[in-house]
Structure 1
Amino acid sequence: MTDVSSSSSSSKVKTLRGFKALELDTRLLGMIGAFLVICIAFNVLTDGRFLTPRNIFNLTIQTVSVAIMATGMVFVIVTRHIDLAVGALLATCSAFMAMLQVRYLPDMFGLGLGHPLTPWITIAAGIAVGTAIGAFQGWLVGYLTIPAFIVTLGGLLVWRNVAWYQTSGQTIGPLDPTFMKFGGINGTLGATWSWIFGGLAVLWVVWLLWSARRAKLSHGFPVKPVWAEITMGGIMAAGILGFIATLNAYDIPKGRLRRVFAARGEDLPDGFSAAYGLPISVLLLIAVAVAMTLIATRTRLGRYIFATGGNPDAAELSGINTRLLTVKVFALMGALCAISAVVASARLTNHSNDIGTLDELRVIAAAVIGGTALSGGIGTIYGAILGALIMQSLQSGMAMVGVDAPLQNIVVGTVLVAAVLIDTIYRKRTGGK
């Protein structure tokens, strides 16, 4: 034992060589390739309108609500469950938050639209409601052992109609101005702050790469050659800054600028222009993605989730309370549905009766396309977000081309089945990894 440790400590750290040194995820590369093919194809079919800054901006803010829920769906599917009620739960939380800020808070506490506390009380209460409903569904699944498919199928019907009864089927709006900043176009950072955020994000990526390399060196693990580290850092930095540059290229229309200046009692200066920049909703998605990734990779909860999904019987025998874990996973899913409800209703500037319709299909499809195995135990947060972007790109592109809504749903359903088939074949060829 002593000889082995001494020889390993004195030997040189191995470095990976060739193309393998980049350690690229083939599944991730496949998804990125599919996304690029979709973008290029629709850009050709729309005579260059699909890849304009305006459409990319709209595509980004349309993806956020589904992507946020998809990160939670990863945990649900990893633990070998399913949640068919996410769209209906989003509608219930949206209706509750709309009624809270438009009617309940003004009537009971005198906190009307525009009051500094209104949006934050609304969001906190909405998340609490979503978490409670999710925990209740998790309790039915975990402790009463009712199959998640049945519980959430019933939840789809129940919560969709609870949302209707809260508002009597009416559209509720307008919503609080600060609340609506989470929807996208009504809340952006502007060009300067977007560049600052992009620069900080690049520095954070560089620090992550450096710290990961240092950790591997300290433990004697194989590391990438310096050129591979620089290449990966350069690719990620170019992607971040290119995304920021694209969003900053979308200028606010003159009519909107005139209204903004008119509200201040000023005239729009000649030649003045301003860019939307990075939407606050995208910042929210980034925060959720980072938090969920940390939970998945750095916490006991995350380890328990993946261990339970890999082998539920072994996890229970090792001391994991799988019933309580189920409650936690569904409670987290409910909280994310509430956050998505904030984004969706804020983007629409009101609560509508059909909000979140068919989102359960989109969320499950995003997670599966992103590489989450329906057999449990395998899934990534970044994969689910990329899957949501692919789904939204398909729908947005088909709408721009003029494809009817029924045919759009046919294509989405076909893509979902094809994604599961491809995933099954891939796992068989790679030994289930």
Structure 2
Amino acid sequence: MADAASRQRAASPLTVNGFLRATEIDTRMLGMLGALAVIWIGFHLASGGTFLTPRNLWNLSVQSASIAVMATGMVLVIVTRNIDLSVGSMLGFIGMTMGVMQAEWLPTIWGYDHPLTWIVALAFGVGVGVAIGALHGWVIAYLGVPAFIVTLGGLLAWRGGAWWVTSGRTVAPMDGTFALIGGGVQGSIGAAASWAIALAACAAILAGLWFGRLRRRSFGFPLRPLWAEGVLGLLGCGAVLAAVAVFNTYPWPSRVAERWAEANGTVVPEGGFAHGLAIPVLVALAVGVGMTFLATRTRFGRYVFAIGGNPEAAELAGVDVAWVKMKVFMLMGGLVALGAAISTARLNAATNAQGQLDELYVIAAAVIGGTSLAGGAGTIAGAMIGAVVMQSLQSGMVLMGLDTPLQNIVVGLVLVVAVWVDTMYRGRKA
């Protein structure tokens, strides 16, 4: 009787354990969100109230986009028990090639600001990224060289390659349309479009919960209580609407708004023009959704996690382990190219210092987000939140005026602590 009463209390929504069981919220994800809230509040107080402002949060979202995009690929790399230390150097090299193409090569063919320039430059960059990833993956998967060594060599080689392309010159400016990928005043979609996307996202969240419930019922799996489904829908939609509301309260600079209004024969409304969601944030969210689907709803995703769990068993089950690993690194290269496009467009220039230490931020984001370095476990959503955590630390330290060496020390400590927490968490679950 006592055991039955204990189980009943655990299932009650009035207890923490009962609430978490009913809603099936990942406790690790919940802890990460709690840590993010502590970081935000702490920096807000320490910076004199400048951190939790629409302007800083909007900039934080844009700055996190590139790392978040690459972190989604790093999840699959680490899940397969590999690592990629070259992503920062790859970003610098690919960004430089895309910059040279649109600033120097293509203008000699069809002039500046041609409507195809940004498309060709982006496609070329993604192609270069996939090719580099294929090279890394082939050496790792088919020649048997450890990923640590291959990508460490790539870290050095591609950084040197970025310098070699222009002999150390900074390339600027970028194509006007390409620059929109980096955000900025013109690289945001405004209030009305942001609300439309928010409502569409809420509809997608509710539809996902509903069809997920139908799918569980069709397979005879246990169903969440209806109140738990409602809570999840409320939390998801509330987070989306709150984020859009914050971004819509960040107006354009007054002079920019006045010049735009004058050029377009209109007047600046009271409160100014709102930024809304930035294009790089939309790109990162789209990549996150796509990568989540790839990891959880496709045969390729199942193969990736099977290899991470037990490579020998996966091979005996008929999985072409080497080919899957090579495809993972090709995907990583393509995502690095997208990250390079966002970073280059945001700076409106390609520099040799671009992407330095990004490999640290990307790996830390994946690990903080719950990806186990032992392989076989990880989530895309967790890695993207981890990217926000890492960027929040950097942004907060910049607001406080901390020197770059001290910032690197803090980031290094966070990475070590994240791995330690992961080790403890896996040990307790075992």
Check 1:272–1:29 CA distance in 2 against 1; reply closer, same or farther (3 A cut): closer
Residues 398, 221 of structure 1: CA spacing in aligned structure 2 closer, same or farther, 3 A cutoff? same
Structure 1 residue 195 corresponds to structure 2 residue 189: no
Cross-structure match for 2:16:
none
Where 1:27 maps in the other structure, the secondary structure is: helix
**Amino acid in structure 1 at the alignment position of 2:340:** A
Alignment correspondent of 1:31: 32
Q: Counterparts of 2:316 and 2:226 in 1: how far apart (Å)?
A: 44
Asked whether the equivalents of residues 362 and 388 of structure 1 are also in contact (C-alpha less than 8 Å), the reply is: yes
Residue 196 of structure 1 and its aligned partner are, at CA, apart by 0.4
Report if the CA contact (8 A) 1:113-1:177 is conserved: no
> 1:36-90 deviations in whole A, cap 9, x for unaligned?
0000101111121100000000000000001100000001100011100001111
After TM superposition, where is structure 1 displaced by more than 3 Å over at least 4 residues in a row? 261-264, 266-272
RMSD of the alignment, in Å? 1.3
Q: Which residue of 2 aligns with 1:219?
A: 219
Within a 5 Å distance, the mapping from 1:15-54 to structure 2 comes to: 18=13, 19=19, 20-54=21-55
Deviations 1:295-353 (A, max 9, x none): 10111111110000111111111111111111101100000000000000000011111
Maintained 8 Å contact 2:257/2:268: no
The verdict on how the C-alpha distance between 1:27 and 1:158 changes in structure 2, with shifts beyond 3 A counting, is same
How has the CA–CA distance of structure 1 residues 270 and 359 changed in structure 2, closer, same or farther, with 3 Å as cutoff?
A: closer
Listed as ranges, the matches of 1:138-287 within 5 Å are 138-185=137-184, 186-264=186-264, 266=265, 268-269=267-268, 271=270, 273-287=272-286
CA contact (8 A) 2:251 2:271 kept: no
Aligned to 1:75: 76
In the alignment, which residue of structure 1 is the partner of 2:373?
374
Deviation at 1:219, TM superposition (A): 2.2
The answer for the alignment partner of 1:101 in structure 2 is 102
**Residues of 2 paired with 1:130 and 1:385: CA distance?**
21
C-alpha distance in 1, partners of 2:43/2:425? 27
Query: In structure 2, what residue type is equivalent to 1:418?
Result: V
CA distance in 1, matches of 2:247, 2:382: 22
Aligned counterpart, 2:90: 89
TM score, norm. by length of structure 2: 0.94
Aligned-residue sequence identity (percent) comes to: 51
Number of equivalences: 413
- Structure 1: segments with no counterpart, 5+ residues: 1-15
Q: Are the aligned partners of 1:17 and 1:224 in contact in 2 as well (CA < 8 Å)?
A: no
Per the TM alignment, residue 258 of structure 1 is displaced from its structure 2 partner at its CA by: 2.5
Q: Contact conserved, 2:130 with 2:334, CA < 8 A, in 1?
A: yes
Q: Which residue of 2 aligns with 1:297?
A: 296
Aligned residue number for residue 137 of structure 1: 136
* Alpha-carbon shift at residue 262 of structure 1 (Å): 4.7
Partner of 1:13: none
Q: Secondary structure at the match of 2:84?
A: coil
CA shift, 1:268, in A, is 5.0
- The code of the aligned residue for 2:199 comes to G
CA distance in 1, matches of 2:12, 2:269: 57
What are the ranges of 5 or more consecutive residues in structure 2 without an aligned counterpart? 1-10, 14-18
Could you tell me which amino acid in structure 2 is paired with residue 297 of structure 1? T
Using the alignment, how far apart are the partners of 1:280 and 1:89 within structure 2? Answer: 23
